[in-house]
Amino acid sequence: MLAALSGTRIFARVLATSLLSLGLLSASPTSAQTTAVPLPATVPAYEPPPGRPFPVTPDEASAAAILTGLVVDEQGHPFAGAVLVIWKTKLGAETDSNGRYRLPVPASCLSRRGWVKIVAGQMGFVRQMLRLDARLAKQPVIRLVQNMRPLY
């Protein structure tokens, strides 16, 4: 038992030393804080690299429009795992690890002027209802705010 405990302590010490040397772990708590990154008000639509076609799903092939954009947290960092759903439907998308989303919108969900209502949110964050113009190439950056209300 003592040998296993000392092996665990040695592993933890080696791991902490490696992280410190790589700069992934900070010795002082003040240097570990990050500053907010200024973000543009809109994000251009995703363009696939030249020579590499973007994979199209059947939902996207039959969609009247495809919304693409970025979801960030309060500090401006990309928010992975946020859920965006078209209002009053079960159609939705989830953000990737870079906070980007692609949401195919069928013609039945568009207004006559090309607007679509979506609900963006995640557990522990305030849900937001947004009205987006599906005709625009640049969509606004969606900033999720943490929900501070008590559960009771």
How would you class 54 by CB atoms within 10 Å of its CB: exposed for 0-12, middle for 13-18, buried for 19 or more?
exposed
The rounded distance, in Å, linking the Cα atoms of 92 and 41 is 23
Residue 67: name the closest of 139, 130, 131, 115 by CA. Answer: 139
Residues of the chain with CATH 2.60.40.1120: 42-143
Provide the pLDDT for residue 64.
87
The rounded distance, in Å, linking the Cα atoms of 20 and 29 is 13
Provide the pLDDT for residue 62.
76
The distance from CA 59 to its chain's CA centroid, rounded to whole angstroms, is 21
Q: For the segment 133-152, what is each residue's pLDDT rounded down to a tens digit?
A: 998 888 899 999 999 887 77
The rounded distance, in Å, linking the Cα atoms of 62 and 105 is 9
Give CATH for domain 42-143: 2.60.40.1120
Report the percentage of the chain scoring pLDDT > 90: 49
Q: For the segment 63-101, what is each residue's pLDDT rounded down to a tens digit?
A: 888 899 999 999 999 999 999 999 999 999 999 999 999
In the block, tokens 């495809």 appear at: 66
DSSP string of 108-131, one letter each residue:
GGS-TTSEEEEEEE-TTB--EEEE
